[in-house]
Amino acid sequence: MTQIVWIQIIVTIAILCIALAEALVLQYRKPGSFDWSEAWLSLADMAGRRLLGVLPVGIATPVFEWVWTHRLFTIELNGFAAFLLLFLGLEFFYYWYHRASHRVRFFWATHAVHHSPNQLTLSTSFRLGWTNKLTGITLFYTPLVYFGFEPKIVLTALSLNLLYQFWLHTTLIPKLGWLEWVLNTPSAHRVHHASNLDYLDANYGGVLIIFDRLFGTYRPERPEEPCVYGLVKPMRTRNVFTMEFSQWVALYRDMREATSLGSAFAYFIKPPGWSPDGKSLTTEALRAQQIRTTLT
């Protein structure tokens, strides 16, 4: 095996061991509080994703190769400025990928798997869904290749970005003071995973939280509003296939039953919960409904 494969194996084992340690701590502090079935589902997702990862079904690789051939420049990682540019560029495009994954139903059909656990633990971090390759999410980083970063460098940086996010999926770490202004922290990410109406569609950052602050999607964790984890309509299944494909089945059903081609396409690109009859359950519609209820 190559050195990269060995590194991946070692990192995976370390992640699993740390997640297990967290589970034991939570179980010790409050017996029965840790839902082991949620953790097993996350492990099943990871195992299935690794198996499917060997299939040549992704669309990003040929696109990256074509863009790399037609790139504007060639940027070598031979200094601090180049590393900083790659880091900030990746953070910027990750923010928009992540925001699109919540606001475009086609992308949400995969990303909802990550938000399906009804508890937030480190094991949540490796429940990512099996259909990422089919949706072409890595195409969000195509501009980095176009401006001169080699595709394998971009993908390696993305892997490190996702690795950073592992430790964010926990309830054991409190707010981190002034770091909350700059970094994506466990507190900020707890809000991101919460299904509370006030917390929905917030805190999309990877390593940094500055783009959320810049584009108005930052929400702080508030002690008077404890986070409730999971989907707005909680998923209770313990069937891994239901977990992986229920959102796709629902999207297909809505598009099939649409009364016009325009409505079918709108189901595809509009936010989760949208419907052509105006009886929407989008974040905006739910918040408007809450305001009307409060005023009356």
Domain ranges of the chain: 3-240, 258-295
User: Which residue type does 124 have?
Assistant: T
> What angle, 0 to 180 degrees and rounded to 10, lies between the N-to-C axes of helices 80-103 and 151-164?
70
Residue 80 has pLDDT above 90, yes or no: yes
User: Which residue type does 234 have?
Assistant: P
Q: Which residues pair with 130 in a beta bridge?
A: none
Q: How far apart are CA 85 and CA 207, in angstroms?
A: 14
Lowest mean pLDDT among 43-52, 80-89, 191-200, 274-283: 274-283
Averaged pLDDT, 254-270: 95
- 86 contacts 153 by C-beta, under 8 angstroms: yes
Name the strand (E) or helix (H) holding 106.
helix 105-111
Q: How far apart are CA 18 and CA 123, in angstroms?
A: 9
What's the pLDDT score for residue 1?
56
Q: What angle do CA 268, 272, 160 make, to 5 degrees?
A: 90
Averaged pLDDT, 138-166: 96
Written as one string, the DSSP assignment of 187-228 is HHHHHHHB--GGGSS----SSB-HHHHHHT------TTS---
Average pLDDT, the chain: 94
Supply the pTM of this predicted model: 0.94
| 203 CA to centre of own chain | 11
Instruction: Tokens for 76, please give them.
Output: 């070598």
